[in-house]
Amino acid sequence: MSCKFYLYKGKGKNAENGHLWIYTTEIEQYDGEYENGDIVEVYNFRGDFIGKGYINDASKITIRIMTRDINEEIDEEFFRKRLHAAWEYRKKVVETSSCRFLFGEADFVPGLIIDKFEDYFVIQSLALGIDKYKDIVVKLLVEEFGAKGVYERSDAKVRELEGMEQTKGFLTEPFDTMITITENGVKYYVDIENGQKTGFFLDQKENRAAIHKLCKDATVLDCFTHTGSFALNAGVAGAKSVLGVDISEHAVDFCRRNAELNNLQDTVKFECHNAFDVLREWSKEGREFDVVILDPPAFTKSRSTVQSATRGYKEINLRGMKLVKRGGYLITCSCSHFMNPDLFKETIADAARDARVTLRQVEFKTQAPDHPILWNSDESYYLKFYIFQVV
């Protein structure tokens, strides 16, 4: 029999309204025995059933709800249904040769990420309860979704908050982990073993496509270029010249390989710079570009560092605006959940005032629909993407 957990009066409202997390501070008592990773039942203070999911009392997020049906077992059939539902959704909303196959809480499997790169899959387990089911997930990916290979990238620091070690490696027979994919007509090498996160950021797919119309015959600067994805999209779109900059020499070398893969090495160049330093320097020199792209890593991953992150976002946007020719375009992003949309908007507006420019909004977008936003789980909303004309 499952261990039963009861919440304090006044707690658990979010969970009752659809959120999947139960925090330590919400739990008043429990009835029964459990081991971390077990499936337990959750009830409100009146004894009404809320849901059941896996527990880890080493985590502030003590219980993650997997189902609202008290009779549904968390077994192979459960994961089969969840994976097929996720896949059917993606076949409707995105091009699926490479995509996020499953997005944790937003696909009602909290703690599990699955990315698909052609016929190879990368999984990331971020919670102890999911680790217990990895073999089932791999079996289903191979038998029902045609995975030629599955690799694990559970080397995220967040696992340490769960009392777990970081880990990565093959979950099927070994294969070549340098995969080639095509997105928006651009080819990329994807290093699923050593690249960031699961090897490639799929969430900007539609945003990268959105810049094509702006980049034809343009001079383009792409800051924090990482794998060169925005720079290469600009090149494929017919830019006159593209310069991508990144602080990592390894990233720059990888970008150059991607440029060669697309026969763009004569048009799309990459240099190793600290973007904060070089934006300031080039602004003072009076350099200008038709299009400036700012796609930095998350400057904040917690509420405690939002203030310093805001200063960082303001600085790069201020410098970026000064490098845009009047009538040109600024493309700017934030991938931090804690940099909420209103704060990001205010920060850009502050930068525009200090730069003494007027911004005309062309487009606002979020993450691609294979990274769906669950309205009663705001953690699933993190990416903000603006296109402005600088006038």
Provide the whole-model pTM: 0.94
Give catalytic residues, as residue numbers. Answer: 335
Average pLDDT over residues 366-385: 94
**Per-residue confidence band for 346, with pLDDT thresholds at 50, 70 and 90:** very high
Q: What is the pLDDT, as a whole number, of residue 121?
A: 98
The 10s digit of each residue's pLDDT in 212-232 is: 999 999 999 999 999 999 999
Q: Is the pLDDT of residue 174 over 80?
A: yes
Q: In what order do the strands lie in the sheet with 49-55?
A: 21-23, 61-67, 49-55, 39-43, 4-7, 27-31
Shared domain for 217 and 172, answered yes or no, is no
Shared domain for 213 and 295, answered yes or no, is yes
Mean of pLDDT over the chain: 95
CA gap 349, 153 in Å, rounded:
38
CA gap 169, 337 in Å, rounded:
28
What are the b/e assignments for 42-72, b being 16+ CB within 10 Å? bbbeeeeebbbbbbbeebebbbbbbbbeeee
Shared domain for 171 and 25, answered yes or no, is no
CATH code at 375? 3.40.50.150
Shared domain for 59 and 87, answered yes or no, is no
Spatial CB neighbours of 4, under 8 Å, sequence gap ≥ 6: 30, 31, 32, 40, 41, 42, 43
As to burial, measured by CB atoms within 10 angstroms (0-12 exposed, 13-18 middle, 19+ buried), residue 250 is exposed
Domain stops at, among 27, 50, 67: 67
**Per-residue confidence band for 297, with pLDDT thresholds at 50, 70 and 90:** confident
CATH code at 121? 3.30.750.80
Q: What is the pLDDT, as a whole number, of residue 309?
A: 87
Shared domain for 269 and 333, answered yes or no, is yes
The 10s digit of each residue's pLDDT in 89-121 is: 999 999 999 999 999 999 999 999 999 999 999
Q: What is the pLDDT, as a whole number, of residue 22?
A: 97
The 10s digit of each residue's pLDDT in 6-39 is: 999 999 999 999 999 999 999 999 999 999 999 9
Average pLDDT over residues 161-178: 95
Q: Is the pLDDT of residue 354 over 90?
A: yes
Residue 167, in any domain of the structure: yes
Shared domain for 291 and 338, answered yes or no, is yes
Total structural domains within the chain:
3
CA gap 355, 358 in Å, rounded:
9
Provide the domain limits for residue 316.
Answer: 201-390
Shared domain for 87 and 154, answered yes or no, is yes
Average pLDDT over residues 80-91: 98
Domain stops at, among 48, 67, 86: 67
Average pLDDT over residues 275-298: 93
**Per-residue confidence band for 303, with pLDDT thresholds at 50, 70 and 90:** confident
Percent of the chain with pLDDT over 70: 100
